Amino acid sequence: MAESYDAVLIGAGHNALACALHLAAKGWRVGLFEQATVAGGAVKTGEYTLPGFRHDWAAMNLSLFAGSAFFKAYGAELSAKGAEFVPVTQPFASAFPDRSWCGVSTDLAATRASIAALSEADAATWEVMQGEFPAKAEQIFGLLGSPMKIRALASFAFKMLSRQGLTGMLDLTRFLMLSPREFLTQTFESPKVQAMLGAWGMHLDFAPDVAGGGVFPYLEGMAGQAFGMALGKGGADVIIRALVAAIVARGGAVETGVSVGRILHDSRRATGVELADGRRITATKAVIAGVAPRELVRMTGPTQPSFDLAMAQFAHAPGTMMIHLAMDSLPDWAAGAALQRFAYVHLAPSLDQMARTYQQAMSGLLPDEPILVVGQPSAQDASRAPDGKHVLWMQVRMAPGVIRGDAAGQIAATDWVTAAEPFAERALDILERYAPGARAKILGRRIVSPAELEADNPNLVGGDQLCGSHHLAQHFLFRPARGSADGSTGLGALHLTGAAVWPGAGTGAGAGYLLAQKLAGK
């Protein structure tokens, strides 16, 4: 007799888990089937270098999850299952080649002083922006947290018109269309302040000159000042373990190490899934796929031609290389020991370099000087490493999924098996320039190429940790495609969730929670 659930979920990333928990709380019987040996997708933690050193595989920053509508609803339940956060008061900084730095902390006076060392005018601008942030955040987060349906957008627009008038709504619309460079150069005079904030655009596929990206450096800067950052106590996987435990406690099932071979349907409606081992699982209400759009088409076969084509054409962002380091101690930053207190240190010295790096990766070239995000989680959470030791979490942005050459003309390899080591050495050379002696502190390391990221998690196509570009043509109403921003697909009862669906990447669980609310009638 076939197993049966109200909802069958393909994958156990944090969006699918959030979706499943809400449905379970509404009385649905849910079953999740994950191809990896552990749940979590890109949100997982392990001893990838040496025993006792816990590294976050991909996602490290859990601020979006801790501040999400989903966690507001289920925080008490998840906390009871072990979810715990480490608050970070010094979230990020940027170091520069001339041994200067600039950083944001929750202490406004400290942030102001850091910026004022570069520009008094910019420090004054920062204070004004921080004062205006609560009102502006209400508008922006209201939009980013809304379902991307015409009725929901009309309601949002009506409220905006009532509160801000036509001028205010047009100003917000223009702001949402600005590129990072346009926003930053129109707002700040110091190229270093511009670079400090512009580095956040590179986290979300928004190089300096990509339209629609200006809002993200703004939000990260203002939110970092206002709220700091949240890390998972002991590792990012603390939220995953709590989610799984909560689902199981509500009668749900989470199976790992099992692949879904195909989605069963009658050409009109999804009815379940067939696992790679031949088991058939029936879904009486919904099949929910937490997969990349192209993978969905493979699992269903032909459905609606227009939908299938949109999924096949879904565009992915450039890849990322991860370098996990077990360290004898924190880097001795040339810019000063104060940098050791920040969760993130960006090595992204200018908007021009970011733009060049992005273009090189988009062209299939290994960038000659990639952007580095150096995470220092053990400086905030000592439980991640043995006493006195540390872990470094390094993102190398950007990297091509398919290598066509090397911008520096030094690496001949065009496959990641061969190119990973020399490209990682290039990144470590950059770290060494900003923190002399860092190499000598390395006790163990694990290089994870874009190809390995995809092999571990097929949703990260080409090492794209965002599961799809967020450029305007593939965002808001168009994520992943027009008519599908709510997870709708070419089949009835089949729904898509995850970072490929509005509101997109990050650890906010928005796509999963919005879908679950729609299916359960809130």
The verdict on 327 and 358 lying in the same domain is: yes
Whether residue 199 lies inside any domain: the answer is yes
Answer with the one of 197, 227, 257 that is the final residue of a domain. 227
387-446 confidence digits (pLDDT tens): 999 999 999 999 999 999 999 999 999 999 999 999 999 999 999 999 999 999 999 999
374-392 confidence digits (pLDDT tens): 999 999 999 999 999 999 9
**112-121, 144-153, 237-246, 286-295: range with lowest mean pLDDT:** 144-153
The verdict on 367 and 385 lying in the same domain is: yes
**What is the rounded distance in angstroms from the CA atom of residue 364 to the CA atom of residue 204?**
18
Q: By three-state DSSP, how is residue 397 classified?
A: strand
The dihedrals phi and psi of 6, each to the nearest 5 degrees, come to: -65, -45
Q: What pLDDT does residue 161 have?
A: 75
Answer with the one of 204, 227, 250 that is the final residue of a domain. 227
**What are the residues facing 34 on neighbouring strands?**
256
Q: What percent of the chain has pLDDT over 70?
A: 99
Predicted confidence band of residue 522 (pLDDT cuts 50, 70, 90): confident
Whether residue 87 lies inside any domain: the answer is no
The verdict on 341 and 425 lying in the same domain is: yes
Q: What percent of the chain has pLDDT over 90?
A: 91
Whether residue 462 lies inside any domain: the answer is no
> Is residue 375 within 8 Å of residue 392, measured between CB atoms?
yes
Q: What is the DSSP letter of 367?
A: P
User: Would you state the structure tokens that stand for residue 408, as one six-digit string?
Assistant: 């520096």
The verdict on 360 and 425 lying in the same domain is: yes
Whether residue 241 lies inside any domain: the answer is yes
The verdict on 419 and 342 lying in the same domain is: yes
The verdict on 70 and 157 lying in the same domain is: no
Q: Which residue has the tokens 């501040």?
A: 67
Whether residue 26 lies inside any domain: the answer is yes
The verdict on 321 and 355 lying in the same domain is: yes
Whether residue 186 lies inside any domain: the answer is yes
**What is the rounded distance in angstroms from the CA atom of residue 343 to the CA atom of residue 91?**
5
Crossing angle between the packed helical segments 237-249 and 69-80, to the nearest 10 degrees = 80
Identify the sign of the CA torsion 52, 58, 61, 66. Answer: negative
**What is the rounded distance in angstroms from the CA atom of residue 449 to the CA atom of residue 466?**
15
- Give rounded-to-5 percent helix, strand, coil for the chain: 45, 20, 35
Predicted confidence band of residue 72 (pLDDT cuts 50, 70, 90): very high
**What is the rounded distance in angstroms from the CA atom of residue 129 to the CA atom of residue 224?**
13
Q: What is the mean pLDDT of residues 133-146?
A: 83
The verdict on 256 and 204 lying in the same domain is: no
151-208 confidence digits (pLDDT tens): 767 676 767 777 778 887 788 889 999 999 999 999 999 999 999 999 999 998 999 9
Average pLDDT, the chain: 95
Whether residue 497 lies inside any domain: the answer is yes
**145-154, 240-249, 332-341, 440-449: range with lowest mean pLDDT:** 145-154
Run of H or E including 445: strand 442-448
465-519 confidence digits (pLDDT tens): 999 999 999 999 999 999 999 999 999 999 999 999 999 999 999 999 999 999 9
Domain range for 198 is 92-227
Residue 263 sits in a domain of what CATH number? Answer: 3.50.50.60
> Is residue 468 within 8 Å of residue 316, measured between CB atoms?
yes
Q: What pLDDT does residue 1 have?
A: 53
> Is residue 395 within 8 Å of residue 322, measured between CB atoms?
yes
Q: What pLDDT does residue 406 have?
A: 98
The verdict on 21 and 44 lying in the same domain is: yes
Q: What pLDDT does residue 144 have?
A: 80
261-279 confidence digits (pLDDT tens): 999 999 999 999 999 999 9
Answer with the one of 408, 435, 456 that is the final residue of a domain. 456
Q: What is the mean pLDDT of residues 103-123?
A: 98
The 3-state secondary structure of 131-185 reads: HHHHHHHHHHHHHHCCCCCHHHHHHHHHHHHHHHHHHHHHHHHHHHHCCHHHHHH
> Is residue 33 within 8 Å of residue 8, measured between CB atoms?
yes
The verdict on 208 and 106 lying in the same domain is: yes
DSSP 217-251: HHHHHHHHHHH-EEEETTSTHHHHHHHHHHHHHTT
The verdict on 301 and 247 lying in the same domain is: yes
Whether the predicted pLDDT of 41 surpasses 60: yes
* CA-closest candidate to residue 58, choices 323, 293, 444: 323
Overall domain count for the chain: 3
**What is the rounded distance in angstroms from the CA atom of residue 471 to the CA atom of residue 13?**
23
The verdict on 329 and 363 lying in the same domain is: yes
